[in-house]
Amino acid sequence: MKSSFRTVALIGKYKSPDVAGPLLELAAFLERRKVKVLIDRLTASQVKEARYPVLALEDLGHEVDLAIVIGGDGTMLNIARTLAPHDVALVGVNQGRLGFLTDISVETMIATIGAILDGKFVAEDRMLLEGQVFSGAKTVFEALAFNDVVVSKGPKGSMLEVEVRIDGQFIYNQRGDGLIVATPTGSTAYALSSGGPIVHPSLSVMALVPVSPHTLSNRPIVISSGCTVEIIVRDDPEPRAHFDSHTRYDLREGDRVVVRRYPRMVSLLHPEGHSYYGMLREKLNWNRE
């Protein structure tokens, strides 16, 4: 990550009517700070009066030092996966509901982004997962995930049966609604609602969380991020693999979903004074002192 940010990408929530105003306000502020502003092509289609250079999201990673995402955590997930190969730092301005990843409010964004440009921020590296689907020996699909890779039952509602292996060792057969492989970031998403543990983002681990297992002894387990997880579909008429709920692949019996840690990290920038525990206390409505 570069020590100063001279070229910044602005990316808004797709098809959100509320993006244009904050984005243009922020773009004008960045111009006054002598920062070059680029806008994602899909975002630009919603901001008709924008006069800034426009690039496809896939191309922004080659041009910018920093990406500012205006939206919710779902928007941030998609941007993080796309820009992860390019070592672009990310800042999130929250227009969503919870905002675990987008922790700057629209009301304070100008002051906060100004402080970040001055070098006053907390940087936090987050890991991603890379998932591959194998049919026999052939790779038929692959994708990155910032939150989780999920193998789940199909739309017919039949119980899913999978075999789980870690580093080639047989762990268990599981019947239920599915299995989540989550990063520490994803531990506060689907995995949390399925009874998984909250994992601090500084830890280099993955959490395996069963979804409604038929046998109650199938419990969540936390393993090293250096492990390789293999999920083999044994029985289900229409099983699916989901990657951050943004991308999916329809599986067949015998297909294998292999999940590993992605070698690159995503750098999230937070305001000075940011506390992960304080964020949990606020977002999860924990009792305060």
Q: Give me the phi and psi of 89, to 5 degrees please.
A: -70, 150
Clarify whether 87 is annotated catalytic.
no
Return the number of other C-beta atoms located less than 10 Å from residue 237's C-beta: 13
Helix, strand, or coil (residue 94): strand
Catalytic residue among 40, 65, 73, 244: 73
Instruction: Assign 29 to helix, strand or coil.
Output: helix
Contact of 234 with 253, CB cutoff 8 Å: yes
Distance CA 207, CA 184 (A): 8
Which residues are 232's β-sheet partners?
A: 163, 256
Residues in the chain: 289
Return the structure tokens found at 59: 């191309």
The strand pair at 256-271 and 54-55 is best described as unpaired
d(CA 155, CA 90): 35
- H helices then E strands: how many in the chain? 7, 18
Q: Are 39 and 47 in contact (CB under 8 A)?
A: yes
From the number of C-beta atoms within 10 Å of its C-beta (0-12, 13-18, 19+), residue 48 rates as: exposed
Contact 73, 100 (CB under 8 A): yes
- Find residue 130's DSSP bridge partners: 144, 260
Which active-site residues does the annotation give?
73
